[in-house]
Amino acid sequence: MKEALRTALACGASALLATSVARGQGAQPLKVGAGIGAYLATTFVVDGQLDVPSPEVGGTFLVPVDIADVLRLEPSLDWTHYAALESAAYHRMYGTRVRGGLGAFVLFELAPDARGYVGARGSVSYLSYHTAQAGALPVTVEVSDSEGSVSPGLGAEYFLTPHFSLGGELRFDFTFGRPSDVRYFSLAPIEPEPDTRRHALGVTTAFVVRTFFL
């Protein structure tokens, strides 16, 4: 059964690649553009344990480079700023994340004015956040955190004109890293808790507008 499934997946991938290559033989060799969008990232599992879903909303800037309408290489830069007030454990929490990455995708036609893509993105992010914990002696915690992630995914886009498209993307995020700097501020001495986090699993959905100049 497993062998049959592997064979079917291999045949499907080969057929998809062959169709894309055949379509790309008469296509423009290189197209370069720019894109902007918004994303919603939600983490469900942290260090092997189910976690309370923590959504993150942000913006993204993309530079799609399409090669013969078969392969897309896409550098990206994401950013977000978030804040939470009066939670059970904190008076306030706020922070900023910046993420740089590169995606590689195989392109395939869905309709005359629509196409899909499948592949993965790899990225490195820097997160800085501050929390003010509740208690008799309030504690302020500042954390600087760097992470890496690998995100296989797929998407689709519809071309309103030959140079302008609207699209959506779904990614499955595998994140790894650990806080690089943690600082505590309090009126009382504090024994810092070791935080070796983290391996996390999550899902990201994105809406993107792209325009091609070449």
Q: What is the pLDDT of residues 74-126, one digit of tens each?
A: 999 999 886 655 555 555 667 788 999 999 999 999 999 999 999 999 999 98
In CATH, what number does 2-212 get? 2.40.160.20
Every domain of the chain and the residues it spans:
2-212
Tokens of 3: 């062998």
Tell me the H-state helices in the chain: 2-24
Identify the DSSP state of 68. Answer: T
Q: Is the pLDDT of residue 206 over 80?
A: yes
**Structure tokens of 108?**
């395939």
Contact present, 173 and 42 (Cβ < 8 Å): no
Inter-residue contact 51 to 42 (CB < 8 Å)? no
Four-CA torsion 129, 43, 80, 120, nearest 10 degrees: 130
**To the nearest whole percent, how much of the chain has pLDDT over 90?**
45
Q: Given this model, what pLDDT does residue 43 score?
A: 83
Cα 120 from Cα 110, distance rounded (Å)? 19
Burial class (CB in 10 A: 0-12, 13-18, 19+), 173: buried
Lowest mean pLDDT across 23-27, 114-118, 170-174, 208-212: 23-27
**Which has the closest alpha carbon to 123: 95, 94, 93, 153?**
153
Summarised one tens digit per residue, pLDDT across range 1-13 is 445 545 544 554 4
* Residue pair 144/181 in contact by the 8 Å Cβ criterion: yes
Residue 128's pLDDT band, with cuts at 50, 70 and 90, is confident
Please answer whether residues 35 and 207 qualify as being in contact, where contact means their C-beta atoms are separated by less than 8 angstroms.
no
| Contact status, residue 178 vs residue 191, Cβ threshold 8 Å | no
Q: Are strands 114-133 and 49-62 parallel, antiparallel or unpaired?
A: unpaired
Residue among 33, 45, 71, 44 nearest 159 (CA):
33
Predicted confidence at residue 22, as pLDDT, reads 46
Q: What is the mean pLDDT of the chain?
A: 79
pTM for this predicted structure: 0.74
